[in-house]
Amino acid sequence: MTAIFIKNAASLSHTTLISKVLKQSALSLYVSILVTLTLGSPMVGALEWVAVGENGTILRSSDGIVWEASNSGTPETLRGVYFDGATTWVAAGQNGTLVNSQDAADWGLQVSGIAAQLWGAFFADGQWIVTGGSQGYILGSTNSTDWEVLDGPRSFSLYDIGYDGSGLYLAAGADASLAKVLTSSDGVMWEQNPLTSSIDKALYGIAYVNGLWVGVGDGGTILTSSDPSSGIWTVRSSNTTEPLRDVVFNGSDQVVAVGYNGTILTSEDGIEWTAQISGVADEDGEDGEDLWGIEYDPAGLYVAVGTFGTILTSNNGEDWVKRASPSLQWLRDVAVGRIDEVNPPDPDPISPTGIPTTPLWSIMLAIIAVLWNARRYRQVKSLDGIDKLTL
C-alpha cells in the first residue's frame, strides 16, 4: 500500500483531488523505476555447476551439459565441493587442501592447519564444515578462509556430512570396514553414536530424506535411521553388491544413489530401491565407469560424475545421458549453486548538448521534485485527522 498525502483534501473537488493523486502516484512510480535503473536490481543468480577430482581438477558448467576446465591452483586431488547458497564455493582434498572461489572460475588456496586427507565439504547456518577422510577431523569456518579444527583426530575416517535443516548434523564414515556415525546439534560439538548392530561396511554418502537419514556405502550397503543419535539403523535391500559412493535427495519425491560400475539406484522414500540404466556400466564389472558423486539442481537436473572424467545428466533420475568432458581425470564430487548477482546500471551516455542523459541525472531531478512536492503538500489535519488517500 502507498499513502499519498494531499493538502486540504477534504475541501477539494473530486476532479482536482484525482488530478493531484495521479500526479503524486506517477511521480512515486517514476522514482521507483529510476532507482531500479540507476542502482541496479537483484536478479536470479547465475547457475553454476562445479565438479572436482584428481590432480586438482575443477570443471564448471552453466547448465550441467557443456563443461570447461578451471584452474584450481593446486595439484592435490580434490574430493569434496559445496556452495554456500550465495557467493562462495569451497573444495577440499588431499594433504589438508582447501580452495575457495567467488565465481567457480578463479580459485584460491586456503590454510587448513592440518595435513590430513579431507573429504566432504558442507555449508549450513552460516558456517562451513569439512570432514577429514583419513583421521576423522572436522574443520569449521565462517568465511571459507579462516579454518579451525572442531573435532579430531579420531581413529577412523569421515567421508560425508549431512544436515536435516532443523538442527541435526550427521557425519558418516568408517573404521576400517565398520560404519561410523557422528552427530552434532550445532556443527561444532560432535558426538560419536555407535551403531547398535555392527555394520561391516564403510559409509561414504549420507542424505536426509523427509524425516529419514539414508546412508550408502561399500557392498551396495544402504542404511536408514529416523534417530541417528540412538544408534539404530536399518539395512535396506539395494539389490547390488557394487560399492555406493554418494546419495542425493531432490527435496520432494526422489532419492538417487550412485556407485561403481555405473550403478544408479532410485527410491521414492529411501527404503525401496530400483536400479536404473546409466549407460556406463559393464556386464562383467571390469570396464564400467565408477560414479563417485551426484547432485541435484531444484530446476530439475541431476548430474553424476566419476572415473575418467565421466559426466552424466538426467531430468528424472531414470534416463541418463553421457556428456562430453574436458578432462579424463577421475571426478570425485559435484555441486550446484546460483551466485548472487545485481543487475548493473547502463553506462552514462552524454547527450549532444553535454548534459548527462543517464538514470542517475534523472533520479537527481526526481528527488528534487519529491522534496519540492513534500514542501508544498504537507500533512494537514482535518476534523477526522490527517487527510490522506491510501492506494
CB atoms within 10 A of CB 130: 28
Residue 10 C-alpha from the chain's centroid = 55
Question: Minimum mean pLDDT among 65-74, 137-146, 180-189, 381-390: which range?
Answer: 381-390
For the cut 60, the answer to whether the pLDDT of residue 279 exceeds it is: yes
For the cut 90, the answer to whether the pLDDT of residue 177 exceeds it is: no
Mean pLDDT of 191-208: 93
For the cut 60, the answer to whether the pLDDT of residue 12 exceeds it is: no
For 384, phi then psi, to 5°, come to -105, 20
SS3 helix, strand, coil % of the chain, rounded to 5? 15, 45, 40
Cβ(157)–Cβ(168) under 8 Å? no
Amino acid 286: pLDDT: 75
- Residues 142-157: tens digit of each pLDDT: 999 999 999 999 999 9
Amino acid 345: pLDDT: 41
- Residues 255-265: tens digit of each pLDDT: 999 999 999 99
* Selected residue with higher pLDDT from 229 and 360: 229
For the cut 70, the answer to whether the pLDDT of residue 122 exceeds it is: yes
Amino acid 32: pLDDT: 39
* Highest-scoring range by mean pLDDT, 105-109, 345-349, 367-371: 105-109
Using alpha carbons, select from 164, 88, 119 the residue that is nearest to residue 338.
88
For the cut 80, the answer to whether the pLDDT of residue 386 exceeds it is: no
Q: Provide DSSP, 189-222.
A: S-EE---SS---S-EEEEEEETTEEEEEEGGG-E
Q: Which helix (H) or strand (E) holds 247?
A: strand 244-249
- Residues 48-57: tens digit of each pLDDT: 999 999 999 9
For the cut 90, the answer to whether the pLDDT of residue 71 exceeds it is: yes
| Percent of the chain at pLDDT exceeding 70 | 75
For the cut 50, the answer to whether the pLDDT of residue 7 exceeds it is: no
pLDDT range class, residue 44, cuts 50, 70, 90: low
pLDDT range class, residue 384, cuts 50, 70, 90: very low
Amino acid 366: pLDDT: 46
Q: Which helix (H) or strand (E) holds 35?
A: helix 14-39
Please state the pTM of the whole predicted model: 0.77
For the cut 80, the answer to whether the pLDDT of residue 374 exceeds it is: no
The amino acid that residue 352 corresponds to is P
For the cut 50, the answer to whether the pLDDT of residue 351 exceeds it is: no
Amino acid 341: pLDDT: 58
For the cut 80, the answer to whether the pLDDT of residue 123 exceeds it is: yes
Average pLDDT score, the chain = 83
Cβ(92)–Cβ(119) under 8 Å? yes
Question: Minimum mean pLDDT among 233-242, 329-338, 363-372: which range?
Answer: 363-372
For the cut 60, the answer to whether the pLDDT of residue 18 exceeds it is: no
User: Which residues touch 361 (CB under 8 Å, ≥6 apart)?
Assistant: 355
Amino acid 169: pLDDT: 98
For the cut 90, the answer to whether the pLDDT of residue 136 exceeds it is: yes
Mean pLDDT of 97-120: 96
Amino acid 268: pLDDT: 97
| Percent of the chain at pLDDT exceeding 90 | 71
pLDDT range class, residue 198, cuts 50, 70, 90: confident
For the cut 60, the answer to whether the pLDDT of residue 302 exceeds it is: yes
Amino acid 148: pLDDT: 97
For the cut 90, the answer to whether the pLDDT of residue 203 exceeds it is: yes
Rounded CA-CA distance 346/367 in Å is 20
Sign of CA dihedral 167, 132, 175, 248: positive
* Highest-scoring range by mean pLDDT, 212-226, 279-293, 333-347: 212-226
Instruction: Write out the three cell numbers for 165.
Output: 535443516
Cβ(115)–Cβ(133) under 8 Å? no
User: Which residues touch 388 (CB under 8 Å, ≥6 apart)?
Assistant: 3, 4, 5, 6, 9, 379
